[in-house]
Amino acid sequence: MNIDKKAYKKYADAHAPASPIVKNCIFAFLIGGTICTIGQFLLYIFRDVAGLAQKEAGTLCSVTLIFIAVTLSGLGIFERIAKRAGGGTLVPITGFANSVVSPAIDAKAEGLVLGIGAKIFIIAGPVLLYGTLAGAVYGVIYFLRNH
C-alpha cells in the first residue's frame, strides 16, 4: 500500500492519543520548581546556618543536588519522577547528572571499561563537546576583540 506523507500524517494524528499539554506543563512547573526550591533551601542552609561563604555554599549546594540526582537515578526513582514531570526534571544540574548516570547504569553488565567507561558519556558527551567548543570559540573572539 502506497500512501503519501500528508495522508500518513493525517492518519497518524487521528489515531494518536491526545497529549494533556496543560497537565504536563503544570507537572513540569511544579517538579522543576520543587527542585529549584530544594536547591535554594540547601543554599540557605549552607550559607546562613552553616556560615559558609556564598561561593562555597553554592558549590556545596550543586554537589548535593548532583548527589541526590545520581542516587535517585541509581534507585530508579528519578526516571519515575521524569515520566510525570517531563521537562521539569531538566533543571540543568539534576538533569545533566541523570544523563551521565543512566547510560552507565544500563551498561554496567558489560563491565567497567567496555560498559561503564565507554558509555557513561553517550548522552552527555555531545553537550560537553559542543559546550567546550563554543566556549573556546567565544574565548578566541573575546580575546581578539579586546586586544
Q: Which residues of 83-95 are buried (b: 16+ CB within 10 A; e: fewer)?
A: eebeebbbbebbb
Answer yes or no: is 15 within a domain. Answer: no
Answer yes or no: is 120 within a domain. Answer: yes
Q: What is the pLDDT along the chain (147 residues), one digit of tens a residue?
A: 677 888 888 888 788 888 888 988 999 999 999 999 999 999 999 999 999 999 999 999 999 999 999 999 989 899 899 888 888 888 778 888 888 888 888 777 777 777 777 777 787 788 788 888 999 999 999 999 998
Answer yes or no: is 74 within a domain. Answer: yes
Question: Residue 136 is part of which domain span?
Answer: 21-146
Answer yes or no: is 5 within a domain. Answer: no
Answer yes or no: is 47 within a domain. Answer: yes
| Conformation bin of residue 111: beta by default, left when phi > 0, alpha when psi is -120 to 50 | left
Q: Is the pTM of this model over 0.95?
A: no
Total tally of structural domains belonging to the chain: 1
